[in-house]
Structure 1
Amino acid sequence: MKPVVRSLLETDLYKFTMWQALLHSHPNTQTEYEFRCRNTPQYPLAELKDEVEQQLDQLCSMSFRAEELDYLRSLRYIKSDFVDFLAVFRFQRKFITVKTDGDALLIHTAGPQVHVMGFEIFVLYIVNELYFRRFDQQAALEEGRRRLDAKIRQLKEFSKQPALKHPFELSDFGLRRRFSARWHDEVTQRLAQEVPQYFKGTSNVYQAWKFGIYPIGTMAHEYMQSFQAFGVRLRDFQKAALEDWVQEYRGDLGIALTDVVGMDAFLADFDLYFAKLFDGLRHDSGDPVEWGEKALAHYAALRIDANTKRLVFSDALDLDKAIALYRHFADRIMTGFGIGTNLTNDVGLPTLNIVMKLVCCNGQSVAKLSDSPGKTMSQDETFLAYLRQVFHHPA
């Protein structure tokens, strides 16, 4: 068996930042996460069950190496006691199960959040890489290089166009659905070497360490969703989550995620206090232009100069979409673009739309009300309806 996971550092940065915050503020939380494939694969994922089990066994035998812990310690927002926790941390196999239901692959984690939340990214790229190992690797890599060459040429041509007020900045967000580790390394290194004026970082902490690239990330939906079950009034869960983040990071990691219950409900909670404390906002569902215009209007209403803030776009981006959004917004506000699958798995094969989401926290259902159809996720329709009612979110 060829291991998929190379290092426990090889996860998205926001896993570490959320992990630290939740370990400090809610260390006893019990949670459940579920894996889901949102589209139809070319062959049943159920066929991967035995291989996934073996890869999880391998993952649960791994620990952080001393040099990896030293790297985490070098990040100013990572605290010493959290690194001490990671020094003795190992994933526990008893907290994750793999089953099948017909053609579907069912992966479920249940246990203390600080012991199970880290499984997500590893599970996603284990499943993805095992799936794509069944295809012609050489043909895929050749097509991937042709497409990557075209992207790099496009960026070099873009550099000849008149500059806008704020620079174009691109990051790799493609770990979870990459074609392979080998290809991911090649993509990241080429972008860093050939278009460094645009390529500003990666969410992959292992690659950031290995290649000397800036690590990118703040928070994901699971962090905000957890606060739906932390004993605060449901209407106030976003404010409680943002306040805890501010207290944990004291000005670092200042990009807030907006779409846990929709942009309108987020902005209702994102008052002058938070708008001044956070550096900007991240888009992950809904129409990105409409979302960005709402953000700009909100800053204007609060009399905040939008040129001091940043909008980060990360929803199903490709280079063309990123450049179009940049041209629309970059004379009025700083922007950033996190491209995932269209960087690290653009090799001519249909991709998987796989996720692993928090569904239960402290025995209570939690949910995300997306601004995009198909992204809303919950086990409990009653709770989902209640959440919609509280936040006036359309069905």
Structure 2
Amino acid sequence: MTDIATRVWNHKWKIDPIVRSLIDTDFYKLLMCQSVFRNRPDTRVTFSLINRTTRIPLANLIDEGELREQLEHVRTLRLSRGESTWMRGNTFYGKRSIFSPAFMDWFEGLQLPPYHLDRVGDQYELRFEGPWPEVMLWEIPALSILMELRSRAVLHDMGRFELQVLYARAMTRLWEKIERLRPHPSLRIADFGTRRRHSFLWQDWCVQAMSEGLGDRFTGTSNCLIAKNRDLEAIGTNAHELPMVYAALARDDAELARAPYDVLADWHEEHDGNLRIILPDTYGTQGFLDRAPDWLAGWTGIRIDSGDPAEGAETAIRWWKARGEDPREKLIIFSDGLDVDRIEALHEQFHDRVRVSFGWGTLLTNDFRDLAPGDALAPFSLVCKAVAADGKPTVKLSDNPRKAMGPEGEVDRYRRVFGVGAQREMEVVV
């Protein structure tokens, strides 16, 4: 097993680039990329870094030269033969060759496009512009780089023994969480922690610990490189990016109202089974379900990623019942701001009413709260989102207004079109 503390102490080693593969990314990005490659390859998008936790002065912590070096390294990466073989020949969600030959031919020749980096006060402005299938693959590497450079900056002046103790405490903390989850035999949980991880090596350690500690209750990881290297299931379906871009491209209010369902109609043509998971909260869960076409009720499940998770689950259960579906045969995936207390509570509340699964993110792969002086390693909320499509701004409403994004006028328009009423604000943990 890798001695992480020693590798961190030798922090100048070039053996540790932050992103070491084009498949050091979340599985859903590759699935979505294939859908975009097939359905909207000529759309041009802009992705932008958004630091929701403005008290973290990234530009003061992270050296611009180091940031550029890591970003440039990502542009040198190409899919290796072994990675290509894994994608072309592996079985994902029970389906072999899920990635088409045309998509794989394109991906094997891909170089990620250039980036735009500027310092604005104590923050960085980082943007990616170009064809949607290319630009979208910058999101996860960009977040991973910034999160790990922040970790490296905090750890830079720590001594070897101090680092050993810090990582020993973090390992103990995670193992204690795993021990709390062990008594739940019906638990199903996966690693969703790539985008805001402490580091690649730490995520890899966390995945190994979860696999050993929970056995088959640990269903896999969203990180494709770790899934490949550790012979685990790659987990993921789709995200808010798809409806946000489809909606931005709408020519009028009628097309805007249809956009979230157009996304899933395209997805329906490509995937079946456990890949048919609805993410309903981009423009408000209740309104989305109220207006959903009947064929969506037959999908496998729903992922809850904002708002009160218990309320979201109850809304989904009521919707299935109203559409003549048996909720006990449906899957609810909880994936927002999870830690062990909430996982236990939600599992206890819903495991005998629906099939329950958890996508555990930041507080699995980056829980160093109170372990560094001044709590300098506490996780924070950093995102990289599609902010424009073919020159038109994107909008996200969410079930938590604190996660909303977009120009004020467009946010108001979307709230009107999608019938979003009063919403309750909730703290954005990570």
Query: Which TM-score bucket, shorter chain as reference?
Result: over 0.9
Corresponding residue to 2:321 among 300, 307, 316? 300
Distance 2:38 2:273 in 1: 17
Q: What is the Cα deviation at residue 47 of structure 1? A: 4.3
Q: What is the Cα deviation at residue 260 of structure 1? A: 0.5
2:212 equivalent to 1:200 = no
Q: What is the Cα deviation at residue 45 of structure 1? A: 3.1
Amino acid at match of 1:83: M
After superposition, the Cα gap between the structure-2 partners of 1:250 and 1:182, relative to the gap in structure 1 and judged at 3 Å, is: closer
Q: What is the Cα deviation at residue 41 of structure 1? A: 4.7
Q: What is the Cα deviation at residue 385 of structure 1? A: 1.1
* RMSD of equivalent CA atoms: 1.6
Distance 1:386 1:139 in 2: 52
TM-score normalised over the length of structure 2: 0.86
Corresponding residue to 1:383 among 405, 410, 415? 410
10-19 or 173-182: bigger deviation: 173-182
Corresponding residue to 1:225 among 216, 237, 244? 244
Q: What is the Cα deviation at residue 25 of structure 1? A: 0.6
Gaps of 5+ in 2: 1-11, 156-162, 370-376, 423-430
Distance 2:279 2:220 in 1: 19
Q: What is the Cα deviation at residue 307 of structure 1? A: 1.3
Corresponding position of 2:36: 22
Gaps of 5+ in 1: none
Corresponding position of 2:343: 322
Q: What is the Cα deviation at residue 46 of structure 1? A: 4.6
Amino acid at match of 1:149: W
Corresponding position of 2:395: 367
2:283 equivalent to 1:264 = no
Q: Is the 8 A contact 1:46 1:100 kept in 2?
A: no
Amino acid at match of 1:248: E
Q: Is the 8 A contact 2:181 2:344 kept in 1?
A: no
Amino acid at match of 1:64: L
SS in 2 for 1:135: helix
Q: Is the 8 A contact 2:191 2:359 kept in 1?
A: yes
SS in 2 for 1:6: coil
Corresponding residue to 1:148 among 162, 170, 174? 174
Distance 1:382 1:357 in 2: 19
Q: What is the Cα deviation at residue 251 of structure 1? A: 4.3
SS in 2 for 1:374: helix
Question: 1:56-135 counterparts in 2 under 5 A?
Answer: 56-73=71-88, 74-75=90-91, 76=96, 77-93=98-114, 96-135=115-154
Corresponding residue to 1:12 among 26, 40, 65? 26
SS in 1 for 2:206: helix
After superposition, the Cα gap between the structure-2 partners of 1:389 and 1:368, relative to the gap in structure 1 and judged at 3 Å, is: same
Distance 1:345 1:138 in 2: 17
Q: Is the 8 A contact 2:248 2:395 kept in 1?
A: no
Q: Is the 8 A contact 1:318 1:343 kept in 2?
A: yes
Q: What is the Cα deviation at residue 194 of structure 1? A: 2.1
Deviation per CA, 1:351-383, whole angstroms, max 9, x where unpaired?
1210001111111111110111321011x2221
Q: How many residues align?
A: 384
Distance 1:205 1:335 in 2: 23
Corresponding residue to 2:192 among 163, 173, 178? 173
Q: Is the 8 A contact 2:51 2:382 kept in 1?
A: yes
Q: What is the Cα deviation at residue 391 of structure 1? A: 0.8
Q: Is the 8 A contact 1:285 1:315 kept in 2?
A: yes
Corresponding residue to 1:138 among 164, 181, 201? 164
SS in 2 for 1:108: strand
Q: What is the Cα deviation at residue 42 of structure 1? A: 4.9
Amino acid at match of 1:388: R
Q: Is the 8 A contact 2:281 2:305 kept in 1?
A: yes
Distance 1:15 1:312 in 2: 17
SS in 2 for 1:281: strand
SS in 1 for 2:216: coil
Amino acid at match of 1:313: F
Distance 1:46 1:358 in 2: 25
Q: Is the 8 A contact 2:175 2:209 kept in 1?
A: no
TM-score normalised over the length of structure 1: 0.94
After superposition, the Cα gap between the structure-2 partners of 1:12 and 1:147, relative to the gap in structure 1 and judged at 3 Å, is: same
After superposition, the Cα gap between the structure-2 partners of 1:197 and 1:252, relative to the gap in structure 1 and judged at 3 Å, is: closer
Corresponding residue to 1:240 among 253, 256, 262? 262
Corresponding position of 1:352: 380
Distance 1:236 1:66 in 2: 41
Q: Is the 8 A contact 2:276 2:301 kept in 1?
A: yes
